Every structure is written in structure tokens, then in C-alpha cells.
Amino acid sequence: MKKKLLIFLSLLTIAAFSACSDQTAATDTKEASIQSSEESTAVESKTAESTQSSEESKTAESTQSSEESKTAESTQSSEESTVAPASTQAPGPLSENVPKKITLSGNRDDRFLADDFCYVEGEKFFLLLEKDVCVPGDYADNVALIMDQLEKETSLTFAVSYPIIPCDTCSVKYGYNPWKDLFFGQKVPIYLFIDRESVGYISCASAEFTIIYDYNLFSDEVWDSVPAYHDNPWRRDGVIEYSTVAHELTHTLTLRHAKLTKILTEGLADYYAEKVLLDLADQSEDFKKSARNMYLINSVKDTLTPENAEEIFLNDYSDLSQIERQDEYTLGRLYGIFLAKNYGDSFLKDFLEVSKEAGYSYSAFLGDLQEKDRVVLTNEFKKLFGDDVFQKFGEWYQTLQ
């Protein structure tokens, strides 16, 4: 429902900023189908952000060298730049010019209100808080549980054997990058952002980072100051959107290994988000509530049959006129259920390996999938799961209707 409110804004903004990571096929939450300035920055181009020159990015990716290419990150004055350290550098501050590091209490009933930029460091992530973000005391612990469970469910790891190219997601939003002297290494930077003017920014992800917008994490001061928020209380239902966290982190996890089609990218992110939250339901009541809040259905708008299932998969909802349909989420989640049932829980890891061997690994492929790429991946899909996989899926899908 919420995503339909902002479709038009999406079309206006989706092409405005394309400067950070072509590796990201993931520009979403289930809430909306728009792109914010910084989200489009995060999703469209890995080649020319202020953190990396295009030549350096290509060198680092093509060689997969043990050292990250030296980069010039944008600064407020643009007089100096931070050089990315070698991959052997431990994650953490490179200078004293970083926001303060904090520790959350771990208590669900506590609330931490950020009065300036600050961060929490976990084993696999940096949680980067903007001013006026208000998080429960167990938020970082719950993020850690989600990441651990995602790795367990997928048999993948967030840490990979090649450098993750640093990417500045903040300069468009703030005019400078407050995190330029914080080296992330293989850890995932998770940005908790505030939409202060109700522009309609949404959560998104790339191989390099995850961005979360959650109305329930906006401070009361921000909420009360924006009519579009306080006049629409349904936007803030009190349920922390851990489903969004799990969905976006699934994108980051898979994209660090290889490309997937849009249907598999979005749908499997929903599949694993639901699965992870239900598996963790005994760890926190908030996981159970968030899973219950997910809008999940078992049918798509077009008629899907055993005869046309492959054609729909190949087309991959690539037509922008279909932007509000969101059928790729539904169909991809159903493929997850079907593949796990018929081919085992390793189906995702197996297909990512196939995608990687076909030339669509993080370090080898830049850009969005074109028709020729979708043809390749569709054929690889059939080689892995059988020439009749689409017919069988179509037959199974019809039993759900």
C-alpha cells in the first residue's frame, strides 16, 4: 500500500544520482518503489563515486589484488582525501576525525537517541547512526543475530576473499562524508538514515553497504516536526522493521558473491527475511512481530502457467511500466520455496556459483543485467535445476491458486 504513494517520485529521482555501485540490483523495501538521491547513488554505478576513481575501481576489481586501490574520498573542503588502506588493515578509525563509538545497552526497553553522528561496531558490521536516530538497546544485538542466521541459512559469508570497494553514500545527503576516516574492511556498513522532509527515501542495499530508513527509529522531535508523519500515524506502528534489515542484508550478502536476476534478487530477499525472522522468533518478540508485518502473497497479477513460466522469468519484469506491480518479490519468494523443497537448501549457493562462473561475480561484472545476460542466467538456471524446471514450477504454482 505504502509503496504506491511514491511511485511518481521514484521515476523522477531514479536517474538523478547514479554514482556509487552498479553491483546493486537491490533498491527496495516492500514499502515503496522509489529511489532517493543517495539510494540511487548507492544502487546505480560502482564506477564513479567520490570514494573511487573509475580507473582505480576497475584495477581493484579486475586483479582482485591483495591491496585495495588507493582512493580519494570526498571531504567537506575537498582539500585532502583519505587513502584506502591495504586489505590487511584492521577495520576501524584511520584518524581521530571520526564520530564517536558507542555501545548500546542490550536491553530492549532502553532507547538510545543519537545527538550527533556515532557508530556501533559489531563482529560483522558497523552500525552508523545519523543524528536523531533513536534505537532500542538491543538493536545491534538483533542485527548481529540476523546476519549470523543469514549466513547459516544460505551457507554464504559476508566476508569474502577479495577487497570490498569503499563507497561514499553520504556526500549527496550531507554535502560531506562523516565516515571518510572509518575503514570498514569486510564488515558491512549499515547506515541508519533519517528522512527529515518526508521526501520518500527508502531502504536499499549494495555489495558495499546497507541503508535503512525506519519510521520507528525516527526521534519524536523529527516525527512531530513533519506533518506528513504526525498526521499519518499508521507510518509508525511501533514494530521495528527487522524484516527490512534482513531483506536488505540478504542483498548485500548475495551481491558480494554474484549477480542474480531481479526476480531472484528481490524475491529471495523476502524469502530469507521471512525464514530468518521465524527461525529467530524465540530470540525476540520483535522478530515475530516483524515477520507478521510482512506483506506476502502467493499470486502474481499475470496468469502464470507451465507454458509461460520461463518467458516470465526471462523477461524479469524489466519494463519500468511495471514498477508498482512488485510481482518480482512474490514470484522470487515462491521460487525460493519451490527450489528449497525440490532441490535442497543449497539452491542459492549453487546458483550463485553458476552465476559467478558465467562471469557475473562481484569483482568481474559491472552494471545491470541486460537481455543477453538474462538469457545466459536463464539457461544456467535450467542447466542446474533441469530443463523442465520452469514447467514444474508452473505446475506447482497453479496448485497454490
Q: Above 80 in pLDDT, residue 114?
A: yes
> Does the CA dihedral 197-203-205-209 come out positive or negative?
positive
pLDDT digits (tens, 9 = 90+) for 9-23: 343 333 333 334 444
Q: Which 3 state secondary structure label does DSSP give 203?
A: coil
Domain ranges, ordered by start, for the chain: 2-251, 259-400
Q: Which 3 state secondary structure label does DSSP give 211?
A: strand
Residue 368: pLDDT band (50, 70, 90) is confident
Of 152 and 25, the structure prediction assigns the larger pLDDT to 152
**Mean per-residue pLDDT, 6-35:** 40
Dist CA 248 CA 398 (whole Å): 29
Report pLDDT for 306: 97
Of 221 and 22, the structure prediction assigns the larger pLDDT to 221
Dist CA 211 CA 249 (whole Å): 9
Instruction: Report residue 153: phi and psi, to 5°.
Output: -70, -35
Q: Above 90 in pLDDT, residue 49?
A: no
Q: How many CA atoms lie within 13 A of 361 on its CB side?
A: 17
Whose grid coordinates read 519500468? 320
Q: Above 50 in pLDDT, residue 371?
A: yes
Which residues are CB-contacts of 78 (< 8 A; sequence separation ≥ 6)? none
Instruction: Report residue 159: phi and psi, to 5°.
Output: -80, 130
Nearest Cα to Cα of residue 22 among 59, 51, 2, 49: 49
Cell of 17: 544520482
Burial class (CB in 10 A: 0-12, 13-18, 19+), 387: exposed
The beta strand positions in 241-333, using DSSP E, are none
Q: Above 90 in pLDDT, residue 28?
A: no
Q: Above 90 in pLDDT, residue 5?
A: no
Of 341 and 59, the structure prediction assigns the larger pLDDT to 341
Dist CA 289 CA 67 (whole Å): 43
Report pLDDT for 321: 66
Q: Which 3 state secondary structure label does DSSP give 26?
A: strand
Cell of 75: 571531504
Dist CA 8 CA 34 (whole Å): 8
Nearest Cα to Cα of residue 295 among 261, 330, 252: 330
Report pLDDT for 397: 97
pLDDT digits (tens, 9 = 90+) for 195-204: 999 999 999 9
Residue 314 near residue 378, CB atoms below 8 Å: yes
pLDDT digits (tens, 9 = 90+) for 276-291: 999 999 999 999 999 9
Rounded to a whole number of angstroms, the CA Rg of the chain reads: 20
Q: Above 50 in pLDDT, residue 3?
A: no
pLDDT digits (tens, 9 = 90+) for 333-366: 999 999 999 999 999 999 999 999 999 998 777 6
**DSSP string computed for 44-101:** H-SS--TTS-HHHHHHHHHH--SSPPP-----SSSS--PPPPPTTSPSEESSS-SPEE
End-to-end CA distance of the chain: 22
